[in-house]
Structure 1
Amino acid sequence: MGIQIINGGFLTTIQDMGRYGYQETGMSVSGVMDTRAASLANILVGNDTNEAVIEITMMGPTMKFTEDEIIAVTGGDLGAKIDGKPVERYRAVLVKAGQTLSFMGMYGGSRAYIAFAGGLDIPVVMGSRSTNLKSKVGGYEGRKLGTGDEIAFRAPASWLPHMAERVYGLPSYGAKEWTLRVVMGPQDDCFTDKGINTFLNSTYTISNEYDRMGCRMEGDVIEHKNGGDIITDGISFGAVQVPSHGNPIVMMADHQTTGGYTKIANVISVDLPVLAQCMPGMKIHFEKVTVDEAQALYCKEKEEFDALAKRLNTPVEPADDEQAVAIAAASEANKTAWVKAGTYKISVNGKEFLVELEKEVVRFR
């Protein structure tokens, strides 16, 4: 089977990297708020980075496992525990059937992610498994998870190669003040020089009006040339809208597809996960970077993820000393020398088997 939700927590949804290609119809992209944490969770359990995960906001759920499965919990520290014992974040962990995963507090960050090896049995709607809460589309019946919900695993695993190495360094969410890098535009010409200077040199406070759609901030007023209204145009994840009141609003994962307020800048992709983990009351600064700099940072992160996935999913060759011992022993006995070639998981008629393979190194006959 999979998991049974005992308690859904505050806001627990199914998300992947988003529903692309439908904004022209008014359908939001949605997807995870913290793309870095979700990607790493999937890599640690051997999934593609676009595989659906469970996104947890602030107060987490309680769920019971009805089948063995390898998971990884990443993102904020929301007090994950298995049968009451703390779970190490950013590590692949085997959960046995009958065990319960719960979240018991908020110790840093505001959103956590759970990836499941082989993925969750959630239908693909318009190319994505993400939950669009406003449209009630995707995910689990288009809504947040609640008591009594059950989700099956598509291809659960109880073993993965390099299990001991499936770990990643813990991020720090202890700061109360953060800098977000931005690319200016597309309507930065609608602001006075004073307004641009205010935006880039002021400290803004995240207000209580912060959800999956947007993050409203409070601080020094950003001066427009002729007001904050424009002809409606497209909105992207990270767009910084500045209405006539002069305070910035950063558009998040469930942002609307179009908007009629001036956009002074866009938070770069690699910094959006920082904002996703922030809480109301935290302080924000904006720093200008170029498009080339933003792209270089994005490519560097992508290369890091690709390298990690390749390392964790590449079978290990036997060590040279192991081969040497096997060859020496076989030579003395005038037999064929064999060494271990690795342990692999295979599936036959829906059942999982671990198979240990050997390969012939040299013959002495």
Structure 2
Amino acid sequence: MVMLEVAKAGLMVTVQAKPRTGYLAAGVSPSGPMDEDAFRIAQALAGNGPDAAALEFAQFGGSYRVSEPTLVAVTGGAAEVQIDGRPVPCWESHRLEPGARLDVGVLRGAIWGYIAFSGGIDVPLLLGSRTTHVRNAMGGFEGRSLVAGDRLALAPSAMLTPRRMRSIFRKPSGPIRVIAGPQDDYFDARAWSLFLDEPFAVSTRRDRMASLLFGPALHAARGHDIISDGTPPGSIQVPGSGTATVLTAERQTTGGYPKIATVISADLPRLAQMPGGLPFRFAVVEQEQAEDSLLSARKQADTVIAEIENG
């Protein structure tokens, strides 16, 4: 059995895999990677299929060793990655020999990074997924973030030939696109003017559940309390403080604050990866455009993955 040892834990390092779907009614949100495209590319570079598990970290990756030869790939942003002190590039895979130390430094231009190992991390399936839901302490490795000294099993893999990308996956640029609502009518023209015309930025108060935004306070003319309803990914809820908050992978499944808008699925990973304090604006689009944008983003990611080749 191939073992992965955590020599030095990074920040918020968890085992992540495909989302855990179908359990919203039981109060279990899907979890899964914050940036699904970067996660999928890391897995493909390591020669893994869509059901494999990998590591996700926030800003700083940490240090790792394996007991048998293994492929490893780091994606998400740009970071200083070294194998036994030798620099190696991100966004391609490399052979990690037994006892050699993989060091993953601080991400630049992104918040969430991914470390994939060939074979994938072998943790039990829970409700159909290996992903960790930290707030519910379920799934992944003991339902928690990793710490130094943890040892995790890797599934067997015959893939030991390093792989690289032939083309670059590019996220869309421009405003963060949203669909109005579901409680858009709770906000008057003044609130909507602030929401669309003034800059916002992601604050330092962020985790896998939500990101609080710096920006103008938004007043809900019809009040900030509603009968609790479902919270889709990307919901921008506004409590009485007026602070817009974007709900993400480990969001609560229902909420009692009005939601002025919802970030479209194609742009939610870009918002999740946005460095703190970087200004951006919102723009409203229709549902049809949001669906077309998601299909286009998935097609681009699929093309990039299909073109990955042995190095």
Shift of 1:185: 1.1
Query: Matches of 2:51 and 2:13 in 1, distance apart?
Result: 18
Pick one of 290, 299, 303 that aligns with 2:299. 303
Pick one of 200, 203, 206 that aligns with 1:204. 200
Post-superposition CA distance 1:27-57 (Å, at most 9, x none): 1211111111111112223323343210011
Alignment check: 8 A CA contact 2:20 2:30 kept: yes
Q: Which moved more, 1:229-238 or 1:74-83?
A: 74-83
- What residue in structure 1 maps to residue 66 of structure 2? 65
More strand as a share of residues? 1
Query: Matches of 2:165 and 2:213 in 1, distance apart?
Result: 38
Q: Show the 5 A alignment for 1:1-365.
A: 1-160=2-161, 163=162, 165-169=164-168, 179-312=175-308
Query: Matches of 2:18 and 2:226 in 1, distance apart?
Result: 30
Q: How many percent identity over aligned positions? A: 35
| Number of aligned residues | 309
Query: Matches of 2:163 and 2:134 in 1, distance apart?
Result: 37
Query: Matches of 1:142 and 1:50 in 2, distance apart?
Result: 18
Alignment check: 8 A CA contact 2:77 2:113 kept: yes
Alignment check: 8 A CA contact 1:28 1:255 kept: yes
Query: Where has structure 1 moved over 6 Å in runs of 4 or more?
Result: none
Distance 1:63 1:79, change over 3 A: same
Query: Matches of 1:289 and 1:48 in 2, distance apart?
Result: 34
Structure 1, unmatched stretches of 5+, are 316-365
Distance 1:304 1:107, change over 3 A: closer
Distance 1:217 1:311, change over 3 A: closer
Alignment check: 8 A CA contact 2:165 2:307 kept: no
Alignment check: 8 A CA contact 1:228 1:243 kept: yes
Distance 1:46 1:40, change over 3 A: same
SS of 2:111's partner is strand
Structure 2, unmatched stretches of 5+, are none
Letter in 2 for 1:118: G
Query: Matches of 1:178 and 1:306 in 2, distance apart?
Result: 23
Alignment check: 8 A CA contact 1:68 1:157 kept: no
Query: Matches of 1:273 and 1:83 in 2, distance apart?
Result: 32
Given the two structures, how large is their TM-score scaled by the length of structure 2? Answer: 0.91
Distance 1:239 1:153, change over 3 A: same
Alignment check: 8 A CA contact 2:66 2:98 kept: yes
Alignment check: 8 A CA contact 1:183 1:266 kept: yes
Shift of 1:149: 1.0
Bigger Rg, which one: 1
Query: Matches of 1:51 and 1:193 in 2, distance apart?
Result: 47
Given the two structures, how large is their TM-score scaled by the length of structure 1? Answer: 0.79
Q: Which has the higher contact order (CA 8 A, sep 6+)?
A: 2
Query: Matches of 1:23 and 1:55 in 2, distance apart?
Result: 23
Query: CA RMSD of the aligned region, Å?
Result: 2.3
Letter in 2 for 1:295: E
Query: Matches of 1:242 and 1:235 in 2, distance apart?
Result: 12
Query: Matches of 1:68 and 1:48 in 2, distance apart?
Result: 19
Alignment check: 8 A CA contact 1:90 1:170 kept: no
